[in-house]
Amino acid sequence: MHPDSQRKDVLGKPLRLPCGAVLKNRIAKSSMSDSLGDGEGNATDAQIRLYERWAEGGAAVSMIGEVQFDPRYPEKPGNLVLRDDAGKARFEELTARALVDGAHLWPQIGHAGALSYAPIGPPLGPSSLDVEGLQCRGMSVEQVEELPAAYAAAARRARNAGFSGVHIHAGHGFLLSQFLSPLFNRRTDGYGGSIEGRSRIVLDIVDRVRKAVGPAFPIGIRINASDQLEGGLSEADALAVVKQLDDTSVDLIDISGGTYFPGAKSSSDSTGGGPYFVDFARRARHVTQVPLMVTGGFRGRGQAIHAIESGAADIVGLARSMVLMPELPNVWLSAASRDPVFPRFEKVVPGGITAWYSLRLTALGEDREAEFSMDIPEALETYDARDAERAARWKASFGL
């Protein structure tokens, strides 16, 4: 066998998770906010088609970013909402069409916390904050203690709607990431202080979710390697969280980084190279036996193969690469492999690259990516206008 074929086979090897579920290869479509919901928390035709395309493209698992359980605190008004039986038929259509060819589909369950979309309602975080560009109220002990049951209920609804696993969002500056960060968690009770106190709610949520979904249902979790903020979550504390997760029933630890707090350096708005967090994953490997996924900055097949071969990761998470090439896993697993060509933007403004990729996701879901030709200013204007329209619909739908 040719050496390159042997290396390619590294990506094609199945991964058995601790719960017994099997991911058919080592390439995941990482969670990202697709912002394709209908403004009332329900899946749309474009969103259903998008995840069907990623499954057809060979992804072992696709994760839907920013799926909410509390409509008062969404990241964006295009998010999905797992609540009661509302929208269940659309979720069932989504899972039926995206669970093909052995692919998995997991919702990334989260709460935006201090980063909740302000036009919908006042943000709520671990501690009250009043800094430039960001204000939020602090949670009471009772509100914190309600979180495990809320995450568990959402996970149960996800399982009942046909999803094949769930992904808990504890990264990128959203609520659970805020609890882990000493910069934004200033609590003096049992949910603050040391990293053990700051991670307590995360561990409680994992425990309740496992009890809700049973022993054979996959549970993943995303955490930051670093907030990339002075005074935020350090790599040492992040490693301590990984070590604590080793004692839980999680099946996959997804390592990413950065935050969307105003003025913070964001990995997702970067135009630079990667991968970003492989070195941290290599250190994390020494403190956990839970399978590790590394997300962020993978642009070529060689980088993905190296991450797996080196032992740093068990599976790689691709986001923007698969927005550019939804068939990328199948391409990388073929003999005639090629890598995606990333666009070059003449003018970059805050949030602009995220907006451009989000609008390209819409084009993918509508099977018209060949016609997509927006520049950054046009994408940002369209993206913001769409959010504003959906926010009004969201507030009316949820009585906010």
Beta strand 22-23 pairing with 15-16: antiparallel
Q: Which structure tokens are listed for 207?
A: 């425990």
Length of the chain: 400
pLDDT at 37: 95
Looking at the chain, the whole-number percentage of residues with pLDDT higher than 90 is: 83
Are residues 229 and 264 in contact, defined by beta-carbon separation less than 8 angstroms? yes
Beta bridge partners of 317: 28, 295
pLDDT at 273: 60
Sequential DSSP letters for 350-384? TTHHHHHHHHHHHHHHTT-GGG----HHHHHHHHH
> What tens digit of pLDDT does each residue of 338-386 get?
999 999 988 888 889 999 999 999 999 999 999 999 999 999 999 999 9
Contacts of 48 (CB under 8 A, 6+ apart): 90, 93, 94, 97, 98, 365
Whether pLDDT at 301 is above 90: yes
pLDDT at 1: 40
> What tens digit of pLDDT does each residue of 253-289 get?
999 987 777 666 555 444 446 788 999 999 999 999 9
How does the average pLDDT of the chain come out, rounded? 93
Whether pLDDT at 173 is above 80: yes
> What tens digit of pLDDT does each residue of 188-243 get?
999 999 999 999 999 999 999 999 999 999 999 999 998 877 888 999 999 999 99
> What tens digit of pLDDT does each residue of 60-99 get?
999 998 899 999 999 999 999 998 877 889 999 999 999 9
Sequential DSSP letters for 75-140? SSTT-EE--TTTTHHHHHHHHHHHS-TT-EEEEEEE--GGGS-TTTS--EESS-EEETTEEEEEPP
pLDDT at 271: 41
Whether pLDDT at 166 is above 90: yes
User: Alpha carbon 319 to chain centroid distance?
Assistant: 9
What distances in angstroms separate CA 315 from CA 27, 32, 251, 256, 311, one per listed residue?
6, 17, 12, 13, 10
What pTM did the predictor assign?
Answer: 0.94
| pLDDT higher at 342 or 6 | 342
